[in-house]
Each structure stands twice: as C-alpha cells, then as structure tokens.
Structure 1
C-alpha cells in the first residue's frame, strides 16, 4: 500500500490520461444501461482472494462499466436532478483526494476546513440570514433535511421539556420533496400535507393551521417550505409562510437543496424573498 512500483506509475499515467481526455471531451459518449446479468457476464468475478489488480479494475471501468452509464454532462442527460460539475471542480476532486486530509478536526485539517468554511460563509450570505448563522456540508439534500428537522424538533422540545416523548407534527405541501416525509419517519414525527403541487401560499398554510385539533396543535412544531421543487422548480411564498410561522411560534425550514443555487443569480433572487426569515435552510 505504501510502496511505489512500476504498476502504480503506469496506472497513474493511465488514470491521468483518462481524466484529461474526459474533461476535454466536448461530445461525451452517451452510455446505455445494461442489466445486472449482462454486466456480470462482461465483468466476471472481481472480488477474489488475490484481487484483479488496479490496471484490470481500471480497464473494466473504462471499457465496460462507464459505457453502461449515462454521463451527467451529456446534452441528452434529461429529467434528472444532478447538475454537471465544472471542469475546475472535477480537477479539485482529484486534488483533494490525492491530498488525503481528514477534515474532522482543526488540528489535522485546519487549512482545508478553513477553505470549506469560506465556501459555507459565502453560501450563507446569499440567503440573507442574520449575523451568526452558519452551516455544514452534507452528502445531499436528504441528509440536510434530516439535520434541519432534528434541529427543529430539539428546539421545540427544549422550549417545553414535557414534549420530550411527544410525537411531533410537521406541515408541508404535497409538492415537497419525498425526503421530508421519509426523514419525518426517522425522527418519529407525523407529516400533514397541504394538497397542492403548486406554490404553497401563506393563506393556505394559515387555513390548515386553523383546522388543527387541540391535540394536533400541541404537537405542531415546524413548517417546511420549498424553494425550487424537483418536478417543476416552484418556489413557495417564503415571505408569507415565514410570517405565519413567526405568528404561531413554529420552526420555519426552507428546502432549497434543488433551487437554492439560483440565489446567486440577480435575475431571479427576488423570487426567494423571505428565505432570510427561515430558522434553517438546505
């Protein structure tokens, strides 16, 4: 593992050549998915007592596996959420991987943590959240929503310790991302959906809250609004919803995992007015 030999050097050159060719390819090959059975017959057994070696593994990836996948930077990569990374981002993925830094503690990863914090500081500044607001990077929107919902639940329970064993209630729209409902199960909370796939307005939210039973009202602790639905890019009435949440004293979470990148575009920034009222943003 810690030795350098000719095989490693050759593999390194092959990988670098592949990476350079790939990021400079303006017309990437449009792969086509194959079944597991087809791939098994093409690849064969790869996890063996003696291993297949780096060169063979790379050869299988380059000649078989990647051709059974659709690249996200292809013009025909349609109707999927992931965005195409910039070439600079791709190269820095290589740089950070090769650098091999553990970024959990400042003692061992201070420089890299500083860089990450600078990026986060800029992202937070786009939202207009108050001084002192900050965040963390997660593996994706689902984990980010889970983190926010846990924070909301714990803030609610800290206000009233008698709620420690109470199953909470979250209100969101039917157009919200499926992770909201899935993560509510993880934190043992119920989700009440407002029946709209369109823009969730403050009047709709206020009306739904007014219909809660006393028991439901006692469990109600958060509202999740969406800033860019994955199906249609719809942005809820963030300003109005934020004000309703403040009136009722509940946590206001904005799921901007899909549409939040538009905060950096002056041409559409006004559509996110009210996001600065949020208690949490993903």
Structure 2
C-alpha cells in the first residue's frame, strides 16, 4: 500500500474487491431472508459512528468491517421485496456492476471530448425512452440525479420557450396531488409561490380539465400570463394518472406548455398495461421519469425528455473560455449544455447495460408484476372484514384503511396512524401512510419484481394481526 499515492497494491485491491462483490451477491441472493432494515435514532448512531478524523488511516478490511456491522444494517433496504413504502427503488445486479464501472473508470460525461462513448450511449438510451413514450424525432433529453432535478430542467425549458425567461405575472397550474418537487423547481426558477395554482383534484385525485380551463380564463381576465400546465403520470399518493389527452387539448387551445411529471409512473410505458394507462403521454412538451424507480436502477438516475431539442439547448447552453476545446463538431453532443450540471457521472451506462442484458420484453414483464401485486393486495383487503380500500390499485399503488366495526372516526384515524410504524418496527415489511381527504390512510407500493405473491399475502396478514393487537375500543387515541 502506498498511502501517499492513495493506492492499494494489486493484491490488496483484489482481496477487498472480492469481499465487496461477495457482500453484494449475498445481498441480492439472500436479501429476502433479512428484515427491511432499521432507522435508529441519532443518539445511537452518534455512539457508533462519531469519531475524530483519522490521522494515519485504518486497515481497509477493518473499515469494511465497520460498514458491514454499523452502516449497512442501520439503513432501510428500499430494494427489499417487502419494502412497500414511498416508491421503492428495486435495483438490479447488472445496474450495480455498471455503476461500479462508471465510478471506477471515473467517466466524465459532461462533454464529448472527455466522454464521447458515454455521450453516445446516453443518446442511444434517451432515444429508446423517446420512442417508448411516442415523442417525435425532434425530442431530446438527458439523465439527471432524479425527478426533482428533471422537473427543474423541463420547467426551465418551458420558462425559456414560452416566457423568454420573463417570469413577471406568469402562472403555472397543477393539481393538489402534484409532487412538491414542482413547487421547489419553480421557486428555483424565479417564480413566487403564488405563481403556481394548485387546483383541487377530482374524486379520483386527478387534475380536472374543466377546473383548469376556468382557472386559466380567470387569470387571463386579471392580466396574468398562463404559461404551463403540470400533469401527473402517476401521483405519488395514489398512482392517479391525470387525463392527459384532455389536458393536452386544453394546452393546445390555450397555447400553453404541457409538462408531465412521470417520475415513477412514466417508465410503465414499457409494458402494454402501462401504455394503456398512459394514453396521451406522447403529447407532452416535456416529460420526466426516474429509471431508479420503475426501471429498476440503482440511485441516482432521473431523466427528462423535451419535445423540441432546441428549447432544451437554448435554455442551458452557455459559453466559457475554459470550455472552448469542449465545443467540438456540430454532431458532437455536450450534455452539459442540456442541463444544469457540467460535471456529470456516466448514469446512462447502468440503464443501457440493463436493457441490453435483459431486453425490453423482460423489463416489461417486471413492470407488469408491479401492477399485479398491487391488485392482489386490493383483492385480499376487500376479502377481509375490517378493511376498506380507499383508492383501487392503479399504477402499482393501493391505498386502504383499517376500519374495525363500531370504531369511531378518531379511533380509526389513530389506529391507522399506528400500523405503519408498527409493522416497520417488526421488520416484517415496510409500509407508509399518507393523507387523503384529510384522513390518514395506509399506502402500498409493491413494484419490486422480486416481490412474490407470498410476500403480499403475508404482509396483509401481518397488518391484520397488528390491527387486532393495536385496536382497543374506547381507549384514548
């Protein structure tokens, strides 16, 4: 080991590398045997991990021991087959190996001159996604850290294309179910909070085209400048898909930009069931999706597509004397000119390798299983007394409540608030709760292709047992 060069010997690298590969193989091959992980308190982790900056360094195997003993067990396993909370990230081993290659070779994918093949791979994969979504040949895009940055990128293109970057009096519209990353994106782009109209959703938690048209008319009458509608291709709360064709009709008639937030839902277009649910996706002016959700990639990889490549390049391309050598030929693509980042990792490699190794057909089957597992959970809850489905399984998400016979509203709310942390504490499964119509509900998102029918069945049984244990009629809530 040459510590001053930060270099291990060939033998040391091989020994440590093999050990890490073994950990990863065990994680993928035997992961379902372990719990969904834990999230300990700050005090416990301070005791385990707080230390002074090491002066001389530590044996790398000892450091890996600490990672194995104190770090990995104290995280939630979002790729566990029974992790049903939020939107899981059920990665795959090929994607993990691709990330290792991209990191190990330290590929810089911001400019063509430093990463020509990386840029070409990204162009190819972006074009695959463009074709799946039905966008025209004029469309282009890039990979980002996640959906939040993808929304910033798409809405920046909208601001430039429609407003020429003049935000004065401009208004954007979305439903009350839209992800808060949209609020953050618009704030970063210079819009004040009152320039985003969050309209009440309909009884299916979708953006209502009639309410949208009325809001646009009211704003125009008051001298404001409507410029963009943000639609959902699968809301985080319920999986609802806004009526994309009707919303596209509105934006066409009003000459507005249609931005579709499909962070988790849009990748479902890879399978037939997803395409049916996502009719109208091809009419978006900009579209976001997160391959680290329903395309089974390791964190981080979000993505954005823009219908007209010129709007993306004009919104972000800036020159600098220190980048003169990076400009290159007209057909050389510098992705740093398509978004915020100059320094970019080679995110495209993992999705490219995954799609090449498994093929579209098998990725589509993996997505289809997510639909089926959510529908299985819905059937099981409907069959059991004391449970009520709040929103049916759609786009791989189900919401439901435990409603014991004779329980008051306060008792029902308190019980449902306790069930999610209770099952998580057991380690049996991980389920989260949300709020719909001002009432707490439980939420189930079983999109991991490694989730089995038994995983769903046993989780429903575990929740039923916990509901019985935690419900005491008449007890203080």
Could you say whether these structures have the same fold, taking a TM-score greater than 0.5 normalized by the shorter chain as the test?
yes
Which deviations, in whole Å up to 9, do the C-alpha atoms of 1:135-194 show, x marking residues without a partner?
110101111111111111111223xxxx73614211111011111112111112210111
Which deviations, in whole Å up to 9, do the C-alpha atoms of 1:69-123 show, x marking residues without a partner?
1212223212122320122212222222223211122222112222222111111
Paired with 2:127 and 2:274, the residues of 1 have a C-alpha distance of 21
Paired with 1:2 and 1:63, the residues of 2 have a C-alpha distance of 25
DSSP-derived class of the 1:72 partner: coil
Name the counterpart of 2:25.
20
Structure 2 contact 79–88 (Cα < 8 Å) conserved: no
The answer to which structure, 1 or 2, has the higher relative contact order (CA under 8 A, 6+ apart) is: 2
Name the counterpart of 2:238.
232
Paired with 1:132 and 1:165, the residues of 2 have a C-alpha distance of 26
Which deviations, in whole Å up to 9, do the C-alpha atoms of 1:11-39 show, x marking residues without a partner?
22321221222222242522221112211
How many equivalent residue pairs?
277
Of 4, 12, 18, the residue aligned with 2:8 is 4
Change (3 A) 1:97 1:228: same
Name the counterpart of 1:203.
210
Query: How do 1:68-217 residues align onto structure 2 when only pairs under 5 Å count?
Result: 68-158=74-164, 164=166, 166-189=168-191, 190-196=195-201, 198-216=205-223
Which is strand-richer, 1 or 2?
Answer: 2
Query: How do 1:19-38 residues align onto structure 2 when only pairs under 5 Å count?
Result: 19-30=24-35, 31-38=37-44
DSSP-derived class of the 2:68 partner: helix
Change (3 A) 1:133 1:16: same
Change (3 A) 1:16 1:239: same
Name the counterpart of 2:66.
60
Q: CA deviation at 1:235?
A: 0.3
Structure 2 contact 234–266 (Cα < 8 Å) conserved: yes
Which deviations, in whole Å up to 9, do the C-alpha atoms of 1:185-243 show, x marking residues without a partner?
11122101111161113222112222225345x32111100000011110001111011
Change (3 A) 1:194 1:165: closer
DSSP-derived class of the 1:221 partner: strand
Structure 1 contact 169–219 (Cα < 8 Å) conserved: yes
Q: CA deviation at 1:259?
A: 0.4
Structure 1 contact 22–28 (Cα < 8 Å) conserved: no
Paired with 2:145 and 2:138, the residues of 1 have a C-alpha distance of 23
Change (3 A) 1:46 1:86: farther
Q: Which is further off, 30-39 or 239-248? A: 30-39
Change (3 A) 1:124 1:47: farther
Structure 1 contact 201–240 (Cα < 8 Å) conserved: no
Paired with 2:257 and 2:225, the residues of 1 have a C-alpha distance of 12
Q: Which is further off, 127-136 or 203-212? A: 203-212
- Where does the alignment leave 5 or more consecutive residues of structure 1 unmatched? none
